[in-house]
Amino acid sequence: MKQTRIEKDVVVIGGGLAGFAAAVSAARHGAQTILIQDRPVLGGNASSEIRVTPHGAGLHHNYATETGLMAEAAAAERSRCHIEPMENAWTNSQWDLALYDICKRTPNLTLQMNTSLTDVILEDGTRGSTLDPEDSKVSQDAGYMERSAINPSRRISRIECSVANAETQITVVGKQYIDCTGDGLCAHLAGCSWRWGSEASDEFDEIHAPSRPDALTMGSSIQFYCHDAGKPVPYEAPPWAKKLNDPDFFYGGTGRIPYTPRGGFWWIEIGVPYNTIFDNEPIREELTEWTLGIWDWMKNKDEKMREKCANYVLDWVGQVPGKRESRRIMGKYFINENELKLDRAFEDEIAYGGWFIDLHTPGGLLAENAEPGAATGYDSHNIEAAKGHVGPYGIPLGILQSRDIDNLGMAGRDVSATKAALGSIRVMQTCGLLGQAIGTAAAVALREGRDLTDLSTGQVREVQDHLRRDGVFLPNVNREAEGDLVPDATLSASSEALLATTSVELEPSKQCDGRPFEQPSDLAQCIPVAGPRLDAIRLCLSSSREGPIEVPVVLRHVKSIWHYDQVDGEVLAEGTLTVEPGQAQWVRWDLGMELPETLHDGGYVRLELMMTAPGELWWERVSRPALACPAYYLLPCADPNKRGERYRRIFNEGMESYGFAVEPAMPVFRAENVRRSANRPYRDAGMWRSDPAEPLPQYLECRWSEPKTLRQIELQFGGDLSNELCRNAPLSRDREVVADYEILLETKDGWEVVDSVRANCQHHRFHQLAEPAETSAVRIRVTGTNGSESASISNLRIFSELGDYPDPWGM
């Protein structure tokens, strides 16, 4: 065997989305970094070898789509890939390549593919593989499986890796290590403490914890993908495929419905009685038998699918099981489900989540049903589905910092969380945010000569500032970045859009698509407001009843667009509207009210419509996105005082707004918004938008009373974060992102263009000036968008110093 040695500052092990993001962000912030990935492609479960859709908070919460590195990868992939978004199996190698491309564009980053971590050596010379070779220290005394810390030293000195097909072993020496292996192998070998299985409900009083602890896990899956061959294609299953003949196995309320002939079913899953780590091979073998058996059922036997599948042919069957659950490494903090539900503001918040508490039934295909929520089709009135909704909630750095090894962090599904909390945190866009956070933390630690588990409060704030400057949204961190010159400037624009109706360009009568749809519950529409008065709101309503319907309405002050609670939130007005028979009529609610002072600079109110006549009454939906106006269903609280029952809502289904109009028109898209903290609609509309009636070019101007020396200008284009970016159409760009623009500085001779960009599709861009420039004003002049009629920018930050790295998309 050839022996080699590599020395780096930061060593990231595992190239899933967590590891990818950790490595790129550590390297961007100046750490010499190596990413060690045991397979030939990046992306882990999201790679084209496994093809799980990277989800996150954005599927369940309007405008909660992940930005930062996750948006960077999604924008790059969507603009190049011809594959339509679909649930699992949509991924092709364009996604792997988008991740690879970002890594290759990153200075300081070495990619070491096809390379497996095999051993960890601690600073006292102990080899991890000798610490607990028989797993004899693993105990099930607590009910779940756990291992207490057995590390004789608190630091890792080096790791050993083996390169597949190269007869090579590498010793990798680092200063900081980040375990993104999913299974927590690096931490395990380093002797760290971990848990496996479920806590009992009495340990943290979690709704989703069972009454007795157990050592069960969710299973692993393989995906398959089919395409339409344009003519009937027969399928004959091999003799070793499972023989499935019982329709009840699929349609008997088990949550295993074959919903498309294209394949990609998350429920082809097997775990218990197998061990998801040690039995990976038997699991793969058995999953392959099941997959072909399921395809045989759909193609040849299923009354509901046979015809639909006639022209479909198997294209690809995964052979790398995607793992959902195994070890959870104990960190400096151990987060539980209730902290997700309570929307706790952690001092060391570095990411957020918002997927539901998604816990599958252990056993998968071998169990009675796949998942309680899925077994009822995620029916929003089903208690299992309703109780699972959480977020968006903040995530603390402490769950990424090892409790037992000082120079070790983790990101991904191996973080320090109860099983129930992990049910939400484990989705991949969230894992990617965690990776970006711990990679940034490692770089900051290195610069300060500390370990990544030993950051001071000030250094954690530095990590938060970097993350926000890198485009990441942190719900509870809203201070200005150190050195940002924009807070001292006056902001103005060539024009500013007003919010008058949900559609800014159409006549009211044309705004409604007129199609009735099932509105089973009370409806809520968040409306951004600004200014002293709200005189009236009009709602676009339809009624099929012969006589008038009386509909109660409530106007509530909400602290953010994700304030779903129906108990808190000051009621500003209550009333009753009379809806006459007819379609798409504008019903007026005269309010003539002064808005609370806290809303004068911008904020949100929520208009609640009580569905007194479901089936006969509906609120028209706007058929094209209306920015910053999220809508959702309000489902009744069974008991508002009971934890987990304060609000209910369902998936946002891509719907954005109900038809409404406000009087007077609201100046919610002011230039002033770009210095506010959030990079999206959240506590206010969160962006500058130019008046859509005014043609491009349009500009945003930032002016100081005294000249300033500038070196770096950072822009966040809000984009349309109302749905997940990976669901955008193939070969598409976010229409709300600015495509063409120039940066101009005011000089004594007038405006001088110092940089210009064409055909941008990225949400986050920044510009480094070759030399420091002295000026009293900067303009961002937008000459083209990717489809929107308005120019829009959600954040502008300007600094006198260069940032840590050049714009990767400017190279």
Ligand X SMILES: Cc1cc2nc3c(=O)[nH]c(=O)nc-3n(C[C@H](O)[C@H](O)[C@H](O)COP(=O)(O)OP(=O)(O)OC[C@H]3O[C@@H](n4cnc5c(N)ncnc54)[C@H](O)[C@@H]3O)c2cc1C
727 binds ligand X (CB under 6 A): no
Residue 427 or 777 with smaller CB distance to ligand X: 427
User: Which residues, numbered 319-338, are part of the site for ligand X (CB under 6 A)?
Assistant: 322-324
By CB under 6 A, residue 427 contacts ligand X: yes
Q: Which of 53, 402, 494, 712 binds ligand X (CB under 6 A)?
A: 53
What are the φ/ψ torsions at residue 159 (nearest 5 degrees)? Answer: -130, 160
Site track 254-283 with ligand X (rule: CB under 6 A), x = hit: ------------x-----------------
Contact window for ligand X (CB under 6 A) among 35-43, 94-102, 486-494, 706-714: 35-43
What are residue 453's phi and psi, to 5 degrees?
A: -90, 0
Query: Is residue 470 a contact residue for ligand X (CB under 6 A)?
Result: no
Q: How far apart are CA 510 and CA 789, in angstroms?
A: 18
Strand partners of residue 522: 634
User: By CB under 6 A, is residue 73 in contact with ligand X?
Assistant: no
Question: Site mask, ligand X, residues 211-230, x = CB under 6 A?
Answer: ---------xx---------
Q: Which part of the chain contacts ligand X (CB under 6 A), choosing from 146-154, 363-371, 423-431, 500-508?
A: 423-431
Q: Is 417 in the site for ligand X (CB under 6 A)?
A: no
Draw the binding track, 383-412, toward ligand X (x: CB under 6 A; -: no contact): -----------------------------x
DSSP characters over 2-60: EEEEEE-SEEEE--BHHHHHHHHHHHHTT--EEEE-SSSSSBGGGSTTT------GGGT
The residue from 182, 191, 197, 364 that contacts ligand X (CB under 6 A) is 182
> Should residue 112 be labelled a site residue for ligand X when binding is judged by CB under 6 A?
no
Across 365-390, b (16+ Cβ under 10 Å) vs e yields: bbbebbbbbbbbebebeebbbbbbbb
For the bound state, the minimum distance from the C-beta of residue 362 to ligand X, rounded and expressed in Å, comes to 14
The distance of closest approach from Cβ of residue 746 to ligand X in the complex, given in angstroms and rounded to an integer, is 46
CA 400 to chain centre: 17
Two tokens, residue 454: 């030993």
For the chain, the 3-state helix, strand and coil shares in percent, each to the nearest 5, are: 20, 30, 50
Dihedral angle computed from the Cα positions of residues 309, 310, 313 and 314, in that order, rounded to the nearest 10 degrees = 40
Q: Nearest approach, Cβ of 193 to ligand X (angstroms)?
A: 18
Nearest to 644, CA basis, from 356, 349, 346: 356
Stretch that binds ligand X, among 424-432, 482-490, 506-514, 695-703 (CB under 6 A): 424-432
Contact 139, 150 (CB under 8 A): no
Instruction: List beta partners, residue 130.
Output: none
Beta carbon of residue 333, minimum distance to ligand X (angstroms, whole number):
18
Token reading at 497? 């859009």
Q: How many residues does the chain have?
A: 811
Q: Which stretch binds ligand X (CB under 6 A): 10-18, 78-86, 612-620, 797-805?
A: 10-18
- Return the range that interacts with ligand X (CB under 6 A); candidates 30-38, 197-205, 450-458, 519-527: 30-38
- Applying the rule CB under 6 A, the residues between 429 and 458 that interact with ligand X are 431
Choose between 44 and 174: whose C-beta lies nearer to ligand X: 44
Segment interacting with ligand X, rule: CB under 6 A, options 174-182, 298-306, 456-464, 625-633: 174-182
Torsion of CA 446, 449, 451, 455, to 10 degrees: -90
Q: How many residues bind ligand X (CB under 6 A)?
A: 36
The distance in angstroms from the start CA to the end CA of the chain is 39
Q: What is the phi/psi pair of residue 420, to 5°?
A: -65, -45
21 binds ligand X (CB under 6 A): no
Concatenated DSSP letters for 689-701?
Answer: E--TTSPSPEEEE
List Cα–Cα distances, 236 to 227, 233, 286, 297, in angstroms: 17, 10, 18, 11
In angstroms, what is the minimal distance from the CB of 452 to ligand X? 17
Interface characters, 624-663, with ligand X (x: CB under 6 A): ----------------------------------------
> Contact, 411 vs 437, CB < 8 A?
yes
Q: Does 60 bind ligand X (CB under 6 A)?
A: no
Would you count residue 197 as binding ligand X (CB under 6 A)?
A: no
Residue from the set 45, 67, 176, 424 that interacts with ligand X by CB under 6 A: 45
Spatial distance between the Cα atoms of 52 and 50, rounded to a whole number of angstroms: 6
Pair of tokens at residue 47: 């790679």
Token reading at 7: 């020395």
Query: What are the residues whose beta carbons fall under 8 Å from the beta carbon of 108, sequence distance 6 or more?
Result: 27, 28, 30, 31, 32, 33
DSSP classification of residue 508: G
359 binds ligand X (CB under 6 A): no
* Per-residue contact flags (x/-) with ligand X for residues 742 to 781, judged by CB under 6 A: ----------------------------------------
Binding interface with ligand X (CB under 6 A): 13-19, 36-39, 44-45, 52-55, 88, 116-117, 180-182, 185, 220-221, 266, 322-324, 412-413, 426-428, 431
